[in-house]
């Protein structure tokens, strides 16, 4: 607005002001003649115009904001007068509450509340608090037009005019029903899980903090370990371990292993509150939050003393039976050799002398007697073979290193399977039990090769390595079916036959083990026993 200070511009200025602003310089303007008066009037007009422009801009912004508020779909935004009657209504409010603007404007906002909230005067209380504190927030059930309810987060703020007069309230409402339902479902499932874990009787299930202090306790833990929750929560879990385990740093090591491997499992003695011990199966699992930060450990302990005792009894029984079987075989072998073998040998001698005492004219009788001599010889041989298979005397006399090739020779002759043997010349003697156990493995494995593998060859190695005597029997047959191989796994308890289980058991009793590897190209059975192992079977 510059350049209107000359008299000839007066008319144009008046017109422009009238057309665009509605503000016209006062009537005295045309009479103003002095340059100074005209200048003053123009400045005044300029100022009025500035005010008008600001107001136009502010109305434009208000209009934009109103359009925005009306369009917001996820939030109910509406205004109320100071008494709580609705004065404006947006699209979100219509969507969330179900009322059209025309249906609700002028109504009191208490109709959005549950009957009991209205009864307790909650709508007015919220308005009072908002009026007092400037704004108020609330979360709770609200009612839609159709009577259904939704979980709302509500903010009510006081609105004041420029003079500071309370002219109404602004309401912002967010429908949190879905979030609430999810939270509710989560809480319900967490609660159920907690109740279930607490109720379990057969397992001690509890949590440790990252340092190993007990932080939760269930019924099973109380039953198995004897502590009440209030007696144990906060204490370090090492109190469940025997003195020597604590001294050896076992509890702390278990937590470290659990973190390193993601899980730790152990079986061993644990101590109850009263000092008595039980044989426990323990699983420790690290627990992490969403950011993968370690927040503690879940510990599940089972009292398996009874099972352990039964297994131990069964193992003792098996060891005893295997020992009895060996003794029985040895006795039968010896009896066969010493009685039947001797009798047949004596009979052969007698038949020999009878044959030589017969007259040549009795040639047919002589012929028959000589046949009897031959049969007696075969009998003696057979008795000796059976007796030696039952219990090879050279095993005790000359040791495994000599008994293996002797056995292989007989096995090849009986089965037609070619065998080879490899052993260091200086392979010394082992304990009687170890030699017998390895010899039984040889017998059983070769019987299996003959019965199941279809292999035409078998290779046997005997060696000593790292304090272990190792006997290996390898065939090139069709292999052990994978189902049987899995079943016979490390424990071998569920293998179908007695052979593999018996071998495992024998070696286990000696502190050794049996390994089987098998493919469709053949099977290798490896038996390992400590070179120093002695007969400690009964105490194992």
Ligand X SMILES: Nc1ncnc2c1ncn2[C@@H]1O[C@H](COP(=O)(O)OP(=O)(O)OP(=O)(O)O)[C@@H](O)[C@H]1O
In the complex, the residues that contact ligand X under the rule CB under 6 A are 448-449, 451-453, 475, 477-481, 484, 495-500, 523
| Closest distance of CB 492 from ligand X, Å | 8
User: Choosing among Mg ion, ligand X, none, which partner's interface includes residue 453 (Cβ < 5 to 8 Å by kind)?
Assistant: ligand X
How many other C-beta atoms lie within 10 A of the C-beta of residue 63?
10
For 295-335, give the secondary structure using H, E and C: EEEEEEEEECHHHHHHHHHHHHHHHHHHHHHHHHHHHHHHH
Of the candidates 84, 131, 88, 129, the one whose C-alpha atom is nearest the C-alpha of residue 109 is 84
Q: C-alpha 28: how far from its chain's center?
A: 95
What minimum distance in Å lies between the beta carbon of 460 and ligand X?
A: 13
Query: Measured from the CB of residue 444, what is the shortest distance to Mg ion in angstroms?
Result: 6
**Residue 284 near residue 278, CB atoms below 8 Å:** no
- Return the one option of Mg ion, ligand X, none that residue 168 interacts with (CB less than 5 to 8 A, by type): none
Q: Which does 434 bind (CB under 5 to 8 A by kind): Mg ion, ligand X, none?
A: none
Output the smallest distance, CB 477 to ligand X, in A.
Answer: 5
Residue 524 Cβ vs ligand X, minimum distance, rounded to whole Å: 9
492 binds, among ligand X, Mg ion, none (CB under 5 to 8 A by kind): none
Out of Mg ion, ligand X, none, what residue 419 binds, judged by CB under 5 to 8 A for its kind, is none
Q: Looking at beta carbons only, is 134 or 497 nearer to Mg ion?
A: 497
Q: Is 76 or 442 the residue whose CB approaches Mg ion more closely?
A: 442
In the complex, the smallest distance separating the C-beta of residue 442 from Mg ion, rounded to whole angstroms, is 13
Nearer to ligand X, 214 or 500 (CB): 500
Nearer to ligand X among residue 228 and residue 494 (C-beta): 494
Q: What are residue 108's DSSP bridge partners?
A: 85
Kindly tell me which of 337 and 450 has the beta carbon lying closer to ligand X.
450
Q: How far is the CB of 475 from Mg ion (least distance, A)?
A: 13
Q: And the tokens for 442? A: 């040889």
The number of residues in the chain equals 540
Pick what 233 binds: Mg ion, ligand X, none; C-beta below 5 to 8 Å, kind-dependent.
Answer: none
Angle between helices 305-335 and 363-390 (to 10 degrees): 160
Partner in contact with 449, chosen from Mg ion, ligand X, none, beta carbon below 5 to 8 Å by kind: ligand X
Q: Measured from the CB atom, is 448 or 537 closer to ligand X?
A: 448
Write out 169-200 in H/E/C secondary structure. EEEEEEECHHHHHHHHHHHHHHHHHHHHHHHC
In the numeric block, which tokens belong to residue 333? 């072998």
Contact 489, 467 (CB under 8 A): no
Residue 180 in tokens: 């609430």
User: What single-letter DSSP state applies at residue 395?
Assistant: H
Residue placing its CB nearer to ligand X in the complex, 71 or 498 = 498
């Amino acid at each position: 607005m510059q350049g209107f200070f000359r008299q000839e511009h007066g008319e144009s200025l008046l017109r422009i002001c009238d057309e665009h602003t509605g503000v016209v310089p006062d009537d005295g303007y045309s009479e103003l003649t002095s340059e100074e008066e005209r200048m003053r009037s123009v400045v005044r007009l300029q100022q009025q115009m500035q005010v008008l422009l600001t107001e136009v801009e502010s109305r434009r912004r208000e209009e934009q904001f109103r359009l925005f508020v009306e369009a917001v779909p996820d939030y109910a935004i509406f205004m109320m007068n100071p008494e709580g009657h609705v004065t404006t209504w947006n699209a979100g409010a219509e969507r969330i509450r179900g009322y059209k603007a025309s249906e609700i404007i002028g109504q009191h906002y208490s109709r959005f509340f549950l009957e009991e909230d209205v009864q307790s005067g909650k709508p007015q209380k919220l308005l009072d608090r908002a009026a007092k504190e400037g704004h108020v927030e609330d979360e709770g059930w609200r009612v839609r037009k159709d009577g259904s309810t939704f979980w709302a987060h509500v903010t009510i703020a006081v609105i004041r005019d420029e003079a500071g007069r309370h002219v109404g309230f602004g309401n912002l409402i967010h429908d949190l029903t879905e979030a609430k339902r999810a939270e509710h479902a989560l809480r319900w499932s967490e609660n159920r899980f907690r109740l279930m874990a607490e109720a379990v009787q057969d397992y001690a299930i509890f949590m440790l903090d990252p340092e190993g202090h007990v932080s939760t306790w269930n019924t099973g833990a109380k039953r198995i370990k004897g502590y009440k929750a209030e007696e144990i929560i906060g204490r370090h879990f090492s109190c469940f371990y025997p003195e020597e385990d604590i001294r050896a740093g076992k509890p702390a090591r278990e937590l470290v292993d659990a973190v390193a491997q993601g899980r730790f499992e152990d079986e061993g003695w644990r101590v109850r509150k009263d000092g008595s011990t039980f044989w426990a199966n323990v699983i420790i699992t690290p627990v992490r939050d969403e950011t993968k930060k370690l927040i503690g450990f879940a510990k599940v302990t089972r009292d398996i003393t009874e099972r352990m005792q039964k297994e131990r009894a069964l193992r003792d029984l098996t060891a005893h039976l295997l020992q009895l079987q060996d003794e029985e075989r040895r006795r039968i072998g010896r009896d066969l050799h010493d009685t039947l073998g001797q009798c047949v040998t004596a009979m052969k001698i007698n038949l020999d002398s009878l044959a030589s005492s017969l007259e040549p004219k009795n040639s047919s009788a002589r012929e028959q007697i000589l046949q009897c001599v031959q049969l007696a010889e075969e009998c003696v041989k057979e008795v000796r073979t059976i007796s030696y298979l039952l219990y090879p005397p050279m095993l005790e006399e000359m040791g495994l290193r000599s008994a293996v090739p002797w056995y292989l020779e007989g096995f090849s002759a009986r089965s037609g399977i070619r065998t080879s043997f490899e052993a260091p010349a200086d392979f010394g003697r082992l304990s009687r039990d170890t030699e017998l156990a390895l010899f039984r493995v040889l017998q059983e494995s070769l019987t299996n090769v003959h019965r199941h593998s279809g292999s035409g060859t078998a290779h046997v190695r005997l060696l000593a390595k790292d304090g272990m005597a190792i006997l290996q029997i390898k065939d090139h047959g069709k292999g052990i079916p994978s189902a049987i191989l899995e079943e016979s796994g490390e424990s071998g308890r569920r293998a179908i036959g007695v052979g593999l289980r018996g071998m495992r058991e024998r070696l286990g009793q000696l502190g050794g083990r049996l390994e089987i590897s098998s493919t469709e190209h053949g099977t290798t059975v490896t038996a390992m026993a400590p070179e120093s192992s002695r007969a400690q079977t009964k105490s194992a």
